[in-house]
Amino acid sequence: MSIGATGRRDFLKRLGGIGAGLATASPLVRAQDGAPARASGAKYMGDFVAPKLDTVKVAIIGVGARGPTHLAHAAAAEGTEFVGICDLHEDACQRAKQRVLGADAERHKNVKTYSGDKHAYRKMLAETKPDAVWIATPWEWHAPMAIDCMKAGAHAFVEVPLGTSIEELWEIIDTSEQTGRHCMMMENVNYGREELMFLNMCRQEVFGELLHGEAAYIHELRGQMHQYESGRGTGSWRTLHWANENGNLYPTHGLGPVAQYMNLARGDDNFRRLVSFSSPARNHALYAKEVLGPESKSSKLEFKGGDMNTSILKTVLGRTVMVQWDESSPRPYSRHNLIQGTRGTGAGFPARIALDYTWKNATPALRKLLDLPEGQPDKHSNYHSWIEGGGFNAFYEHFDHPLYTRMQDIAKKHGGHGGMDAIMNFRAIECLRKGEPLDQNLYEGAFWSAVTPLSRKSVAEDGMPQDFPDFTRGRWKDTRPLPVVS
């Protein structure tokens, strides 16, 4: 599908708030459509394929919370050689080194550790010359480290989010395009079994024409504030984000899968704008007072970020996505994971499906799954009730994604959020070794991460709409939809 000249001009309106720093510090000139022009000789990375690597020399920055999982997967994957481990804390480096050597002491015998300084990773890059670097550090370090890695000749694999500001995201994009190095935001939820099955069903048009999605990260994490008190751990820095920022601070876990269902930034459609509102801020301060005590460091913070943020995204084709974020309220975990079309809806938490089909227009598999009566061609399936539990699980027999089917033993053996981490990491290394495009490209990570700064601005302006930059500079229409890779 195409959007016509009027829609295209509307999508590429001049952006506000890109920042004078980008315009003055970068050699790029400003394009009339509001996006900085692509530098001479730079390469569009939408379907980029890097040269094959028989052996992938791997390094990692950050082995505190998320890092050890990535490290274990990269050490275990076939065709890797671990060359560098970097963390602020030497004890963390040594534990990580022993884990790497435990995976294969001979293959990883030359691994070196770097610690004690926030910029020790630069020495690691210069000395070990890795092919790929995993980055699992505080959010504000993701963009600077990814940029340094690419400039050093390495592909960057970055924990979520890709960056924290629009300016950072543009700098990452410019660096990737000029160096010819991948920069993939590691959105592990895209590799969950349910999410992969919904992707497969969307590609087979089981849900019909896609119209609406819902995505969330609702995860009560106030216990991390104890780490702010101790000064070490994820909460030591995440708590300050809760205190100082008002918007959706963590959008990508829910949004990534829904965006790929809809092919956003890949051929048919793209992000256009959002509006965002936050609730009052109450739960972090309440926890600090009641659990950590009135004299705690946390109790002395002013928490400005609303407990629940709700954003509504509008696409170029007019489709909508609701994105919610809440890390402080006492409620069960949810990512929503809802995709809705003209033929039905798939949703998560709990996993469930509702479809509108008759015997006449259903495939044999759907006839069986929906229990459609033969001889009644016009009787519709019961879309007023959800198919859940064992009925939902029966859909896996017909629609399980072939990537999950092939890698499920890896997922079970190596784990990480039910195996989605293992599939993501082993698949990324496989793509580097085979010379295949990554399943998540540079621009997707930028669009998904941009929800944070755009939501902050919308909340500050009482819900005023904010336009997404076109990080692809118009090339999203030329980018292939993510295929159902096997």
The pairing of beta strand 309-315 with beta strand 183-185: unpaired
CA dist., res. 263 & res. 258, Å (int): 9
Strands ordered across the beta sheet of 112-114:
112-114, 80-86, 56-61, 132-135, 155-158, 183-185
Low-confidence residues in the chain, pLDDT < 50: 1-32
pLDDT digits (tens, 9 = 90+) for 61-73: 999 999 999 999 9
Q: Which two tokens stand for residue 454?
A: 């755009």
CA dist., res. 195 & res. 217, Å (int): 15
Q: Which two tokens stand for residue 73?
A: 């997967």
Say whether the peptide bond before residue 161 is cis (omega within 30 degrees of 0): yes
Look at residue 463 in the predicted model and tell me its pLDDT.
Answer: 98
The packing angle between helices 166-179 and 139-151, to 10°, is 20
Q: Go through the domains of the chain in sequence order and give each one's CATH number.
A: 46-185 (3.40.50.720), 190-279+307-417+442-478 (3.30.360.10)
Give the DSSP letter of residue 63: -
Give the DSSP letter of residue 269: B
Look at residue 21 in the predicted model and tell me its pLDDT.
Answer: 34
CA dist., res. 170 & res. 35, Å (int): 9
Burial code (b: 16+ CB inside 10 Å, e: under 16) for 169-189 equals bbbbbbbbbbbbbbbbbbbbb
Residue type at 185 in one-letter notation: M
Mean pLDDT of the chain: 93
- Taken as a whole, the chain contains a residue count of 486
Q: Are 97 and 113 in contact (CB under 8 A)?
A: yes
CA dist., res. 298 & res. 289, Å (int): 8
pLDDT digits (tens, 9 = 90+) for 179-215: 999 999 999 999 999 999 999 999 999 999 999 999 9
Query: What's the whole-model pTM score?
Result: 0.92
Q: Count the Cβ atoms, other than its own, within 10 Å of residue 435.
A: 11
